[in-house]
Amino acid sequence: MNKDYSEVINKIDMVATKIYNDFQNADIPSLDLPTRTKANIKFDDNLSVWKYGKNTTQRTAKSLDGAYMLLRTMYMADFIKEMIKIKKSSTLREMYYISEGWDLAKFHSQNESNLLAEDLEVITGCMREDFKLRPEEDGARVIGNLTIEEVTRNNTKKKIHCQDDVGDAGYSIPYNVEPEKITFKGIDADYILAIETGGMFDRLVENGFDTSNRAILVHIKGQPARSTRRFIKRLSKEKNVPVLVFTDCDPWSYRIFASIAYGAIKTAHISEYLATPSSQYLGVTPSDIQNYDLPTDTLSKEDIHALKSELSDPRFQDSFWKQEIKLQLKLGKKSEQQALAKYGLDYVTDTYLPEKLAEMGLLKK
């Protein structure tokens, strides 16, 4: 289980060397990295996910902001080296607080330090996990006919069955879901159902949907954490199970789906690790609002702006999304998963999901 970090240290030193050599050659120190915006993501045909394109951004000491970025990058790199040496890890938030002692290089917000950690991933081609940095948020919950073997902190392997060995809250996904930490043993299910809200997850658990419909239920807790996406990706790929995403019907939920299926803009450098290109969007769709006559709210100004922005997002360019987004803009309405309760508590498990699954060819009637 002791991972070899020498490659990571090498890559980090390469960053320091680049800067050091710039000084030696009387060049203004700089680092190049891919531009991390919507405009610079391209579909990678080999990996079937969205990756950064050819546009690069230069962080140069010519400007004050650039110089600060370089200084912080150096401090963070040095800090990571140190952690590897003393065999510790820290949360992103801890690193943010540790930066208080970095004098000029200290961060002014955690967002700044998170972004820089991602930058460093992009520059070195390593993953955050290699840097011994972990996120604050806990992973999601899982219930279904699945057996996981996890290496516990006592360094012993423990098998967990995600129905029999867990309570109603389910199995909790750890921040590290790499093979050295967890492996998938047995599974008997037809698909993975990723659910946005806790309310809906609990509804399906209470109604016994995991058993009745042979589903692995994953509560993704809004925008899913990296480890949740990585977990879904590994499970889907290693055990060859399709992934269905079930969210609210609003632009922000579509982005949740996009990050699971295609990769997120912010983490496009590691899309192939995190994204599950075969994922399918189950609902709730704007068409469902019409077909099921669901209770709705009016789209806010921000919602409309987000929808329009999605129309120009390269990840939403297929005909399904274009049609649905345009329909939603026309309706001017949005809806929630739990709006299905309009027809009773069992409606979602008895009627809505079976109908949608049949529509998608996953349930033979």
Partner 1 sequence: MASVSAHELAKKQKEISVAEFFERNKHILGFGNQTRALITSVKEGVDNGLDACEEANILPDLYVEIKNHEDGECRIIIEDNGPGVIKKQIPHIFGRLLYGSRFHAIRQSRGQQGIGISAVVLYGQLTTGKHAKIISKVEADRPAIVNEIAIDTNKNRAEVISRDTIHWDKPTGTRVEISIMADFKRGKRFVYDYLQSTSIVNPHAQIIYKEPDGTEHVFERTSEVLPRKATEIKPHPYGVELGTLIKMAKHTKARQLNSFLKTEFSSMGDRTTNAAIEKAGLEKNLNPKEMTREQFLALHKAFKKVKIMAPSTDCLSPIGETLIKRSLKHETQEISPEFIITASRPPSVYSGNPFQVEVGLVYGGNLPKEESVKIFRFANRVPLLYQQGGCVITQAISSIDWRRYGLNQPSGKGIPTGPAIFITHVSSTLIPFTSESKEAIADVPEIENEIKLAFRECARKVQQHINKKIRRVKTREKFDLITRILPEIAKKSAHMLDKPVPSLDPIITKIMDVVWIEDLIEYESVKREPIQTTLTENQPEQKEGVITKSQIMVVNYKHTPQKFNLYAIIPQDAVVGTVSPKPSKITDNYIKWNLDTIPPANKIDIVFELAGLSKGDFDENDLYIEDINPTYVIGADKWEGD
Binding stretches for partner 1 (CB under 8 A): 12-13, 16-17, 19-20, 23-24, 26-29, 61-64, 67-68, 70-71, 74-75, 77-78, 81, 103-105
CB of 102 to partner 1, least distance (A): 10
CB of 37 to partner 1, least distance (A): 25
CB of 17 to partner 1, least distance (A): 6
CB of 15 to partner 1, least distance (A): 9
**Residue with Cβ nearer partner 1 (1 or 104):** 104
Q: Whose CA is closest to 242, among 181, 178, 189?
A: 189
Q: Which of 68, 97, 343, 347 is catalytic?
A: 97
The two structure tokens encoding residue 173: 């996904």
**Residue with Cβ nearer partner 1 (1 or 26):** 26
**Residue with Cβ nearer partner 1 (71 or 166):** 71
**Residue with Cβ nearer partner 1 (78 or 350):** 78
The yes-or-no answer on residue 97 being catalytic is yes
**Residue with Cβ nearer partner 1 (106 or 239):** 106
**Residue with Cβ nearer partner 1 (16 or 166):** 16
286 and 251 Cβ atoms separated by less than 8 Å? no
CB of 318 to partner 1, least distance (A): 45
CB of 200 to partner 1, least distance (A): 48
| Catalytic residue list | 97
